[in-house]
Amino acid sequence: MARAIWSGAISFGLVNIPVKLVTAVDRRNVRFRELRREDASRVRYRKVAAADGEEVTSDQMVKGYEIAPDRYVVLEPDELKALAPESSRAIEIEDFVELAEIEPLYYDSSYYLVPGDTAAKPYALLHTAMRESGKAAVARFVLRTKQHLAIIRPVGDALAVSTVVYHDEVIPTEQLDGLPGEDVQPTDRELAMAGQLIESMTVAWEPERYRDTHRDQLLELIERKAAGEDITAAPELEREAGDVVDLVAALEASLAASRDGGSSAESA
């Protein structure tokens, strides 16, 4: 059972709904320690000053913002504390927007909101109203001394809240180099074939279909080595990313392979 990491209330208008914040994602990264090869001794790191190599303790450290190479504006802990967002137990809803209008690039970390002990009815009311309207809520709240902009939306039977990045943190596409211009337009035939290929590869969204194959291979290798198996590294194969010389031919070949794959799967 996931533990609540924050408790407070959703607030919009005069409505107040006590909630608890629960992590929605359990990352399954394979974590390694750095060791000395000869004896597997843990490697530890010290914080040292670049000027003289002396170790620096926590009480000796301050924050510095670099304004030029090796030139810093130093901020003392008290100065930063004075600017910290006021601690609050409220998730303040500021607006409601169409959920479909939110660009996924903005999403950051996601959590579940579960109702407090006496908040089942108002929680269900908000959840149902948002689900039926297709709307999402734009809100702010403070978590671990940092203020977050967030999106609240229904996910299954729960309300989820995702922190989002601010508009000026998303790089606009106008700043990207090498995007095709108006002079690069696909032909009607190419569009039709690309549409057919997309359609032939379209399936229902089932996230359980997709596994982290690299993590699986790492864990298998770890298990085999832990069992004493002698592992010989396979030679690394390089894949060439060549130019598509004949786009139509590539689309035709892809469609043919897709049809063969589909018929094989159906016959199986």
Cβ-in-10-Å burial (0-12, 13-18, 19+) of 225 comes to exposed
Residues in the chain predicted with pLDDT less than 50, given as ranges, are: 264-268
Q: Residue ranges of the domains in the chain? A: 4-25+84-169
Rg of the chain taking only CA atoms, in angstroms: 27
- CA 4 to CA 159: how far, in whole Å? 14
Instruction: Give the fold, CATH level 3, of 4-25+84-169.
Output: Ku70; Chain: A; Domain 2 (2.40.290)
pLDDT, residue 17, reads 92
pLDDT, residue 268, reads 43
Name the residue type at position 69: P
CA distance between the termini of the chain: 39
The residues with which 23 forms a beta bridge, in sequence order, are 111
pLDDT, residue 174, reads 92
Name the residue type at position 202: T
Q: What is the pLDDT of residues 175-212, one digit of tens each?
A: 989 888 888 888 899 899 899 988 988 889 898 998 98
Buried b (16+ CB within 10 A) or exposed e, 10-35: bbbeeeebbbbbbebeeeeeeeeeee
Cβ-in-10-Å burial (0-12, 13-18, 19+) of 267 comes to exposed
Q: Identify the CA nearest to 97 among candidates 130, 129, 133, 136.
A: 136
Other CB atoms within 10 Å distance of the CB of residue 106: 16
